[in-house]
Amino acid sequence: MPTRRTALALLAGSTTALALGTAPPALAHDRPFGRHGSPARRRDRATLYVDAHGRGDHTTVQSAVDAATGTGHTLVIAPGTYRETVDIPADRTGLTLIGASGDPRLTVIVYDNANGTPRPDGSGTYGTSGSATVTARPAGLTARDLTFANDWLRADHPDYTGTQAVAIKVTGDRSAFLGCRFLGHQDTLYADSASLTDFARQYYRDCYVEGDVDFVFGRASAVLDRCHFRTLTRTDLAAAPYGFVFAPSTAGADPHGFLVLRSRVTGTAPDGYFKLARPWVPSSDPTAHPMLTVRDSHLGAGIDADEPYGTMSAGFPWQDQRFAEYRNTGPGARVTVPANRPQLTRAEARQHTPAAWFGDWRP
């Protein structure tokens, strides 16, 4: 089976297997944007078309973002592998990104920077945030049927200590990702906010996320609904734990952190080799009070049922954070040590819902 890098390097629409199964045929050559129109049959002036082969308004996603000034634009992206970094400014409010085929495996935005990658100008390394393939800052962003990936590999850089490699960093309020895929290893999906006082609401529905260390992390008020989280085997480690699925860094004043519901955690690692979560209290915010609720979800055997949580930093044990579960199933959800599996009561569970998280927003 090809590595992720090999698979993502292939032209979308080929018959070679990508990270999740075999991709179906791409759209017809003369209709790269499918039902979404084309430059000759434009839906409206706010719709721009992206195609790496030159059949759209732009050949890169970043050039389309640069052109989509103002609010309410839609970028329709044809099948293909777009090897680039993309920075979406905060003033592109109400922006919509659509993978034209309807299959996220066919439209991939990917790059390979890591925390420890030197910047070309010699000013240091990129850092975790700077490693992101895509940085999404605006409020009201919607993305559908796209893959966001970072294919940087530890094996290629054994001298690096900064091995975080973000696929996407999202900071905008009212951000929604529907049917998207997020591929990486460490720090794949960075669900964050623009500041400590900005409680960014984000919704991820029917998405797929894979990685190993803290691969869903940040301080957003994020709901991850009907998502699939897949833990990866690490060939550089001989013993458990291989990593952690979630690492929230919720601001102390924010009543809502990560809410995971109707989802599942699977993986390729041996049984019990992964922790469900650990709290991240960053040096920039020692008042953080990480929050995670996992409810009505299936936890596979890869999750350590006896000790599902870990501590990242001394002085901030997971027991002092806002971690809870409710009505989970599967071998990784077995309550073998009750003190290690805090459970919501039925009354408390009624307050841990998307409606409570989102308030007046209906994504």
List the catalytic residue out of 214, 225, 254, 304: 214
Give the residue from 216, 161, 162, 163 showing the smallest Cα distance to 188.
Answer: 216
Alpha-carbon dihedral 305, 311, 317, 320, rounded to 10 degrees:
-60
Give catalytic status of residue 66 as yes or no: no
> Which strand (E) or helix (H) includes residue 205?
strand 201-205
Q: How far, in Å, CA of 59 to CA of 102, rounded?
A: 19
Tokens linked to 197: 């006082």
List the catalytic residue out of 145, 173, 187, 212: 187
Q: What does the DSSP assignment read for 101-148?
A: TS-GGGEEEEE---TTPBPTTSS-B-HHHHT-SEEE--TT-EEES-EE
Alpha-carbon dihedral 212, 217, 223, 224, rounded to 10 degrees:
-10
Give catalytic status of residue 254 as yes or no: no
Tokens linked to 179: 């049917």
Q: How far, in Å, CA of 137 to CA of 160, rounded?
A: 28
Residue 340 contacts residue 314 (beta carbons within 8 Å): no
Catalytic amino acids? 187, 214
